[in-house]
Amino acid sequence: KKNPLRAAAEKAASAVLGSSGPEDGVPGKPAAVSPPLQEPTAAQEPLPPKPDQSGPETVSPTGQPTGADPARMAQSGAYLTTAQGARLPDTDHSLKAGPRGPVLLQDHHLREKITHFDHERIPERVVHARGAAAHGVFRGYGTAAKLSKAAFLAKDAETPVFVRFSTVLGSRGSADTVRDTRGFATKFYTEEGVFDLVGNNIPVFFIQDAIKFPDAIHAGKPHPDREIPQAQSAHDTFWDFVTLHTEATHHTLWNMSDRGIPRSYRMMEGFGVHTFRLVDAAGATTLVKFHWKPKLGVHSLVWEEAQIAAGVDPDFHRRDLADAIEAGAFPEWELGVQTFPDTEDQTFEGIDLLDATKIVPEELAPVQPIGLMTLNANPSNYFAETEQVAFHTGHLVPGIDVTDDPLLAGRMFSYLDTQISRLGGPNFGQLPINRTHAPVNDMLRDGMHQTAVHRGVAPYRPNSLDGGCPFLAGEDTGAFVEVPAAVAASRKAREKPASFDDHYSQPRLFWLSMTPVEREHIVAAYTFELGKCYEQAIKERALAVLARIDSRLCEEVAAGLGLPAPGPDSHLTDPEPSQALSQLGGVWPLDGRIIGIVADEAADLDGVRAVRQAVLDAGMVPLVIAPAGGKLDADGDPVTVQRTFATARSVEFDAIVLAGAPGPGGDAAGARDAKAGDNTGTAAQAVTDPRALLLVNEAFRHGKALGAWAGGDSVLAPAGVPADAPGVVIADTGAAVLEALSELLGAHRVWERFTPQI
């Protein structure tokens, strides 16, 4: 029987050295060449994977108590040591010549401790610096198996993943809820190598060619003189760029829509943006666009909420993701693909699939689900995992290939390059979070932070000293082979195709697909952002761009800016709206929604306990808000207070319930009388405390469901909330209130409360 290694070696040698002549009819290859030198074929068994390159060892446990659990302790071992392992008797006092004398240069522990600390920070990402991440698993449905041979897409194949969400413009310490695009980058640790799907929550991009990326980012980042504003697009340089460079119009419109201020990372769609190419086992190809669809639906903040959250809880999205996962409300997304025939022109229904500023409406090409991702574990260490994870569009596996999208081509270069300066050298792939779970047999050597201890003397190919190992794989042995896609005969030129010239028809499609309330949010966003610009010429130019999208949009923003609107554009088309672009209209699961329950000592605490339990049973999170901290009914059946009037702010809650007074027909006023003199009744304090009134008023203005029972509603009027307004539920018991609120919450907000004039 033929040795398989020898067969592989012979095949590889013939492919590389051409010993049997051109097999594929490659034109232009000389017919007569000197006979090739033979590589050794007496193979040794390939070496096992390098011990230092196995997969990450730790994935943080969920739901475990903090504290004494050894797996969660910062240190292991009984004694504190230096980095070299010498035990330390003291880490609080520098070595000095006497208690009040000079510090001695000899103190190695002092210098080691301070020096290490001095170098704790690494450069933050040049874009997407602010992020949060989680571990999870992806399970293939098998529906993509006919399109792609990628093993992780097979039916029921389970693949570990690590996902990092991010904002784009802000620094690492900036607020989560700013108006911006969100990154949605997924690392699949497949058995065939790492596949990174480095996407965004917006399906189009500002630019069509990577060479413009530094311009786009320089314009969006803070002004270089004062380094303000932080994490904002509401400034002159951003609007200067996007109005002069109108291929940015479509992405800018998405940013100004509710998509720019997501309610949660758990409630965002994700998009691969570019068109990719799937390859099946027989080599047949299909063009695809990747979509992540969140099981919880796509939901957003309202702008005022986003602004308040940026101040009162800059970690709003980071906290939300970690809390939900810790509570067991694991967020899930379906991965889906829109498929297009891999035709020579790479267009679909007249849309250029290589233009990253264009979508293909889902009505024209439905998103077909191919797998489910569940995020089920928080990182154990932010720096080691979330900060050091390094994504790259070039991390591909057999069955998934790129297209000639010029934006994607630039990314194929950029991601590897940026990691080298950010992570200090070329060995970032050895960091635990970046290690592939597939065996590694590379011939990359040395470099900064090399942690593998390579053996042998022949890290080169061909070699005879290591028996010729490692051998090259072919398609039948799982090699990643680029699709031999035709390249149109052409000439070198710094040009773009004519199909990239249409900058307005798809923004118009997006605008026409919005509901009135979503349109009003867009108008408000443009008015706010342009209102923050100083240059009149930039505002006027922005209005000229808006006139090319829609005259009503332009007029409304112009009115807000106090400027004349340019006349209507005679070239406007009327594309068929795409319902899939609107966020409104569905009914969604309530997992992880946060219900604030306002109560105090005088409240119907049995009712509060019942509501709390019902909220938990529904997979939501109850937070009791009281005038002061501690416990209510501390001597009886205590109810823990999670928020006080000082610490609660409306943005944290999806709905607010105002507890009433105990007893049949009881009301808050009655409760107050019962406690006459000590002034602790719920309504008594909430009615007069401006913080509680603000809580209720803001929740109302932000379209959140409000409920009250047994007199709790006496807070409504002083808070400026009409008791008969939509989404305000007043019932006899807490249970009845919660039932009605849950129904309202399924729609995310009480949309009837907004009365758009558009």
Residues that bind ligand HDE in the complex, under the rule CB under 6 A: 125-128, 131, 164, 166, 183, 185, 198-200, 205, 210, 213, 273, 356, 389-391, 407, 410-411, 414-415, 418-419
Is 260 or 607 the residue whose CB approaches ligand HDE more closely?
260
Closest among 746, 710, 741 to 726, alpha carbons compared: 741
Is 186 or 232 the residue whose CB approaches ligand HDE more closely?
186
Residues in the chain: 758
The residue at minimum Cβ distance from ligand HDE is 183
Smallest distance from the beta carbon of 162 to ligand HDE, in angstroms? 10
What CA–CA distance (Å, rounded) separates 467 from 589?
59
200 is catalytic: yes
Helix, strand, or coil here: 439? coil
Smallest distance from the beta carbon of 358 to ligand HDE, in angstroms? 13
Is 184 or 330 the residue whose CB approaches ligand HDE more closely?
184
Smallest distance from the beta carbon of 506 to ligand HDE, in angstroms? 16
Is 390 or 661 the residue whose CB approaches ligand HDE more closely?
390
Smallest distance from the beta carbon of 447 to ligand HDE, in angstroms? 18
Surface-to-core class of residue 571, CB atoms within 10 Å of its CB (0-12 exposed, 13-18 middle, 19+ buried): exposed
β pairing state of 400-401 and 594-598: unpaired
Q: Which of the residues 3, 93, 116, 128 is marked catalytic?
A: 128
List of residues 6+ apart from 699 with CB closer than 8 A: 596, 650, 653, 655, 656, 706
Closest among 271, 266, 262 to 303, alpha carbons compared: 262
What count of other Cβ atoms lies within 10 Å of the Cβ of residue 629? 12
- The token pair that represents 81 in the structure block: 């040591």
Smallest distance from the beta carbon of 261 to ligand HDE, in angstroms? 17
Backbone phi, psi, residue 103, to 5°:
-75, 140
What CA–CA distance (Å, rounded) separates 89 from 179?
51
- Sheet with 728-731, edge to edge strand ranges: 643-644, 621-626, 594-598, 655-658, 705-709, 728-731
Radius of gyration of the chain (CA): 30
128 is catalytic: yes
- The token pair that represents 423 in the structure block: 């992570």
Report CA torsion sign: 80, 85, 88, 93.
Answer: negative
Please give the C-alpha separations between residue 444 and each of 262, 365, 441, in angstroms, as whole numbers. Answer: 42, 43, 9
Q: Which of the residues 109, 135, 200, 250 is marked catalytic?
A: 200
What's the CA angle centered on 440, arms 416 and 483, to 5 degrees?
A: 60
- The token pair that represents 658 in the structure block: 């105002």
Is 210 or 533 the residue whose CB approaches ligand HDE more closely?
210
Is 213 or 700 the residue whose CB approaches ligand HDE more closely?
213
Is 448 or 616 the residue whose CB approaches ligand HDE more closely?
448
Smallest distance from the beta carbon of 467 to ligand HDE, in angstroms? 38
Smallest distance from the beta carbon of 426 to ligand HDE, in angstroms? 14
* Residues that are catalytic: 128, 200
